[in-house]
Structure 1
Amino acid sequence: MSTDRHHTAGPGGDEAAESDPGSSALTDGAPTAPTDPAVRRARSTSLPLLFLVTGAMSLGYGSILTLLADIRDQFGFDDAAVGLIAFAGFLTGFASQVGLSRFADRGHTATMVRTGITIAALASGWMLVADQLWQWVGARLLLGLGAGMVGPAVRRLVITRDPANVGANLGRQAAFDVGGFVVGPLLAAAAAELLGLRAPFGVLIVLYGAVLVLLARIDLTSAETERSHRAMRSLLARPAVQAALAGAIAFYLTIGMFEALWSLLLRDLGAATWLIGATLSLFTIPMVLFAPRGGRAAQERGPITVLSVSITVAAACTLVYGFGPLWLLIVISGVHALADAYTLPSNQVGVALASPPDQLASGQGLLGATGLAVAGLAALGGAAVYEAFGRATVFSGTAALMMVFLLLARWRFAVHVRDQAVADPA
């Protein structure tokens, strides 16, 4: 399949949107993009600030990821317990994105963003004093809830602020998202080494407070559009959305494995805490640099075309993690990161282009919820399989599942193309 742009550039198969990816199909509930120059400038200026909010939220996740091995060792948890801590954040992130993202489509983006960041700050405060498993799980539940409220609302704002460049903007946002993991692991590792395990969570409290102050400068208003109580079901009925979600499942399988197993795998192969943090940061650098290109490629060539290449490369890298020595894992993770730089924004662009204009946040919430559910189950199950059968089994099985869901994505997209041809033979 050489290209799928003309089949996915407009939500719901809108003919005008197909010819112009920046058409009104992606505007904020209005028939056209803003024509007032002052409004356009204000919205354009707000985009970098929205990207910073996204980066700050991901920094918290990156910090905790680095510390999982230390949490296990200091508090005497086993590998399965660490998987449960990782799974807890995915669980509430899933629930909030499924149940709450539609409120961003109803004009409550400001409330969603501010409340979510406040909850994340409270979760970090709890981690300052947690010393039992249920407390760590509870704090992760809160952090997932807050992040799940912020993500879809901010992505809706990014999509509708500049519809003509939705691919590049989602790519830039993805770059800031993973950029939080560049700063987070290094910051957490340094603070933990110098000041103790609790110090990174104090830093997060300060960071989230600063983000709340920053929000006073950002226009968070969004037109009220969607009022259906069946938003998720109507989205799931679309073959193009199904294709995008299948591709997302293939991607988030490895995210869950990284969340629960990367620090454990490297520690078991002899890596120190600083090296674990460094590898996580190095992994994200290609994603920061190339995610905008990945978003543009998805908008220009079509998400399914880009995903077919990037997920295949990522699956091959995942297979290597099950057998290679420490140095090879570090090297191959750079190739994996480059592939993910195209996969992540392609998933977001695919769902944005397949969603009706009044369900943009719901579509992004569905994507995020799917990713969190898959990553959470992968983290929980992967940790148990790793402990029982070792790394070869868990990573080779993950690579095989990734390819299965890529084939499923291509099949559902082919159904979408067929339906479009039947609906509009011209």
Structure 2
Amino acid sequence: MSRFGVLQFGLLTALLASGYGVMFTVLDDFRDEYGIEASWLGTIVGIGFLASFVSQVFLAPFADRGHARRLVLLGMALNVAGLVTMAVGEVLPVLLLGRLVSGIGIGMTVPAVRRIVVVADPDRVGNNMGTLLAADVAGFATGPVISALLVPRFGIPAPFLTIALLTVACFPIALRVRIEETAVDDAPRARLAFDLLRIPGIVAGVMMGAALYLMIGTFDALWAIVLDDLDASEFVANVGITIFALPLVFLGPFGGRLAQRVGPFRLGPLGLVLGAGFMFAYGVMPTAYAMLAIGVVHALADGVTASSTGVAVAMTAPRERQAAAQGLVGAAETLSGGATAVLAGVLYDVGGRTLAYTTCSVVMIALAIGAYVLAGDERRRRPPLPVDAPTEPAVTDPLFRRERGRLARSGRLRHSRTTDATTPHLPSASSRRRVRDRRARARRLWWRRRLGAEYDAAAARTRVERGRDHGAADDRRPDGSRHHGATHRAGDGGDDHDAAADPTSAPGRHPTRRR
């Protein structure tokens, strides 16, 4: 899949995540404008996570059976329906219904999108999974911005309707992009994703994802509350959330490539242990600005290591079960993040921020060690690195360089170091075959030119030498007249003869003709 195709699916992922971001920022508006009780606001949030969990476990595996495009289209439609329902709803049952439908749609779309991207270009799974992670985080961070811009002017429905319209505009992406579907005859038999837990690498990836979202859930639930208790301004709290999100957006693709190079089961647990140390530091920092400084370093570390989970699952899952595996780890992440958001608040009320952050840190370390141990031999395994376009051998002959440049300018031969959209890194056999053919043609052209030039030079020297020999040798005719001999030797290529030879010098002889 081309870079543009991955970015298109990244845009779709960002729109799905932005719905979450909008919903979190309008909960207080639901309470103030619609009179929804505070206890039910948590239910609105929780039912979406529960619906997404069920959808990723029970519906995502259908993408492995030749229905990936259908799942993406249906999930987008359900998400749009849920957003519109939440936009028009003003009572609790309607809001719950909209959140439920939207959660189901997101839960079936995200694993299908990941499956499409992984299967389309397995050589670049690190970069592509990092791009999807960056898009997911960027969409979630953009949701509050959309709400802040639209709700004061146009009311609560505005951000939901805006995201719904943008999602509808993305339908041509799923309809037009080439998707490698599994043939019906080759599709795995109908079963849930839980049987993948028999693969140690999948279990390790699930543990890494659960630890990552344990950290994210704790951070989101406590950050604003802790800074408020430390008498920090609201601006500092908002800047902290932005700082935490931006490195994930910009460093996600780089982190994916790094995980592919050094191994996701090495980089991922290392990043989780570092994250656990930062989470513990949040519980003991004396001031809000000290927490903000720790948050900057924490965000950079997570930006480099967070993509390891997706790369690890894509590497260990069978090709025909990619959607089921991605759905399984997504369900674990959703469940971990939702449960942690509730438990972190309880621990904070009971023992303060030190207890809450320390508990999160200890559980993260335990999950990271468990993932590292369970990975076993997978720790030494790395996904195949991208194969760059092979280059032609260095040729110093000026004739070859000049001829290759002329052909390149005329469009009949591209320079090997230039790439285009059709063969950016030659991931397919047909692309490699085309490059081999171009190289063979260039080599044949070079030898033909070189041998032709040498042949022409040798022929010219031969003609000059024969001309001298003919001028020095005399050939006498029977009648005593003299003329310069011009005997033609067969096969020597010589064609310099005396055009003024006497046609009557010998019986039956004709003047030599220039060929």
State the TM-score, normalized to the length of structure 1: 0.79
Determine whether 1:123 maps to 2:82: yes
Q: Residues 83-128 of structure 1: CA distance to partner in whole angstroms, max 9, x if unpaired? A: 4333222211111111111111111111111111111122222222
Match of 1:283 among 244, 255, 265: 244
**What residue is the counterpart of 1:185 in the other structure?**
144
Q: Which of residues 90, 104, 121 in structure 1 aligns to 2:49? A: 90
| Distance of 1:170 and 1:122 partners within structure 2 | 28
Equivalent runs, 1:83-162 vs 2, <5 Å: 83-162=42-121
Deviation at 1:174, TM superposition (A): 1.3
Structure 2 CA distance for aligned equivalents of residues 276 and 126 of structure 1: 31
Query: Contact 1:295–1:346 at 8 Å: present in 2 too?
Result: yes
AA aligned to 2:62 is F
Alignment equivalent of 2:196, drawn from 231, 235, 242: 235
Q: Which residue pairs with 2:333 in the alignment? A: 371
Does residue 401 (structure 1) correspond to residue 360 (structure 2)? The answer is no
- Name structure 1 gaps, 5 residues minimum: 1-39, 419-426
Shift of 1:132: 4.6
Unmatched tracts of structure 2, length 5 or more = 381-515
- The answer to whether the 8 Å contact 2:36/2:92 transfers is no
Which SS does the other structure have where 1:128 is aligned? Answer: helix
Mapped pair 1:252 → 2:213: yes
Q: 1:415 to 1:302 in 2, by over 3 A?
A: closer
Structure 1 letter corresponding to 2:339:
L
State the alpha-carbon separation in 2 of the partners of residues 202 and 403 from structure 1: 41
Residue 227 of structure 1 aligns to a residue whose secondary structure is: coil
Looking at secondary structure, tell me which structure has more helix per residue. Answer: 1
Query: For residues 338-390 of structure 1, what are the alpha-carbon distances to aligned partners after superposition, in whole Å with 9 as ceiling and x for unaligned?
Result: 23223431000101111111111111111111111111211233334344544
Range moving further from structure 2, 112-121 or 266-275: 266-275
2:124 to 139, 150, 165: 165
**Aligned residue type for 2:193:** M
Alpha-carbon distance, 1:308 to partner: 2.4
Over the matched positions of the two proteins, sequence identity in percent amounts to 33
The structural deviation recorded for 1:68 is: 4.0
User: Distance between the aligned counterparts of 1:254 and 1:71, measured in 2?
Assistant: 27
Counterpart secondary structure, 2:182? coil
| CA gap 1:370/1:326 in 2 versus in 1, 3 angstroms | same
User: 1:310 Cα shift?
Assistant: 1.1
Alpha-carbon shift at residue 292 of structure 1 (Å): 0.9
Cα distance in 1, alignment partners of residues 234 and 158 from structure 2: 15
Aligned pairs for 1:346-365 (under 5 A) are: 346-365=308-327
Partner residue, 1:14: none
Q: Residues 210 and 304 (structure 1 numbering): CA distance in 2 closer, same or farther, change over 3 Å? A: same
- Given residue 332 of structure 1, which amino acid in structure 2 is its aligned partner? I
Q: Which has the higher contact order (CA 8 A, sep 6+)?
A: 1
Provide the residue aligned with 1:202 in structure 2.
161
Question: Is the partner of 2:307 in helix, strand or coil?
Answer: helix
- Give the letter aligned to residue 62 of structure 1: G
1:254 match: secondary structure: helix
Whole-Å Cα distance in 2 between the matches of residues 210 and 265 of structure 1? 40
Report which of the two structures shows the higher radius of gyration computed on alpha carbons: 2
* SS of residue in 1 equivalent to 2:306: helix
Q: 1:88·1:376 contact (CA, 8 Å) conserved in 2?
A: no
Structure-1 residue corresponding to 2:182: 223
Q: Which amino acid aligns with 1:120?
A: N
Report the RMSD for the aligned CA atoms in angstroms: 2.8
Shift of the alpha carbon at 1:131?
A: 4.2
* Contact map agreement 2:10 2:131 (CA 8 A) in 1: yes
Query: Which of 263, 266, 270 pairs up with 1:309?
Result: 270
C-alpha change, 1:414 and 1:58, in structure 2 (3 Å) is same
**Deviation at 1:181?**
2.7
CA pair 131-330 structure 1, distance change in 2 beyond 3 A: farther
Contact 1:182/1:282 (8 A) holds in 2: no
The aligned amino acid for 2:297 is: V
Quote the offset at 1:138 in angstroms. Answer: 3.5
TM (norm. structure 2) is 0.66
| Number of aligned residue pairs | 376
Q: Displacement of 1:331 after TM fit?
A: 3.3
The 1:133/1:401 distance shift into structure 2, 3 A limit, reads farther
